[in-house]
């Protein structure tokens, strides 16, 4: 965490927020925004365009956790949440909501930098995995569409699978489109003719 970050601190206790800001300042020259009132939290977070969100809650309830998770949109930014007590259900809910770091035993200035580094690294890793999963799902879906299109061509033209694929590939090249797009059009047209 050597670069300058935009950090949002969500802390309702102003004295505690000042301690956290001081700890953050020791870890680097960051742009820090403190939110002490959780009303309109989502809009205020969006306005700041944060690199990371740090939430300090002494005794979170499931409702507060869900509200903050929705406002912080942990799938868009790394979120580090600090709580004073351990609760397995709340920990699970926080992780399922996408919180990058859920730290029990409160927040101390000497722990801020390594925890934020970990939250950012975990968030980036999760994003890479999510992106790869989406790409894999899309490729699998395209493969299914191409297989359906080949089956339609094989039945309609009385050709084998290799010839059906060659026909899809040639049509895609002639039209300057992807094979999956041609296959999708063929499957859609065939469904209209049934």
Which pLDDT score, from 0 to 100, does residue 96 have? 78
In CATH, which of 2.40.30.20, 1.10.10.10, 2.70.98.60, 2.60.120.380 is domain 133-193?
Answer: 1.10.10.10
What pTM does this model have?
0.70
Q: Is 6-107 a CATH 3.40.50.300 domain?
A: no
Taking CA atoms, 112 is separated from 19, 38, 101, 103, 192, in Å, by 11, 22, 11, 10, 60
Please provide the average confidence, as pLDDT, over all residues in the chain: 86
Q: Cα–Cα distance between 69 and 85 in angstroms, integer? A: 18
pLDDT by residue (tens digit) across 147-171?
Answer: 999 999 999 999 999 999 999 999 9
pLDDT by residue (tens digit) across 119-148?
Answer: 899 999 988 998 999 999 999 999 999 999
- The answer to whether 50 and 6 are in contact (CB under 8 A) is yes
pLDDT at 16 over 90: no
Residues of each domain in the chain carrying CATH 3.40.50.2300: 6-107
Residues of each domain in the chain carrying CATH 1.10.10.10: 133-193
């Amino acid at each position: 965490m050597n670069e300058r970050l935009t950090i949002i601190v969500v802390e309702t206790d102003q004295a505690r927020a000042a301690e956290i800001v001081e700890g953050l300042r020791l870890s680097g020259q960051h742009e820090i925004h403190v939110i002490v009132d959780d009303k309109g939290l989502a809009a205020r977070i969006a306005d700041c365009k944060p690199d990371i969100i740090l939430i300090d809650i002494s005794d979170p309830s499931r409702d507060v956790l869900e509200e903050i998770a929705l406002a912080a949109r942990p799938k868009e930014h790394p979120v580090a949440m600090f709580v004073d007590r351990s609760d397995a259900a709340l920990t699970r809910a926080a992780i399922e909501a996408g919180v990058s770091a859920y730290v029990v035993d409160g927040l101390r200035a000497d722990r801020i930098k390594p925890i934020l580094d970990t939250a950012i690294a975990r968030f980036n890793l999760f994003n890479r995995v999510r992106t790869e999963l989406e790409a894999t799902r899309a490729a699998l879906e395209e493969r299914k569409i191409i297989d359906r299109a080949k089956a339609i061509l094989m039945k309609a033209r009385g050709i084998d699978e290799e010839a059906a694929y060659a026909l899809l590939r040639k049509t895609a090249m002639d039209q300057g489109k992807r094979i999956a797009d041609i296959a999708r059009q063929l499957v859609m047209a065939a469904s209209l003719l049934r």
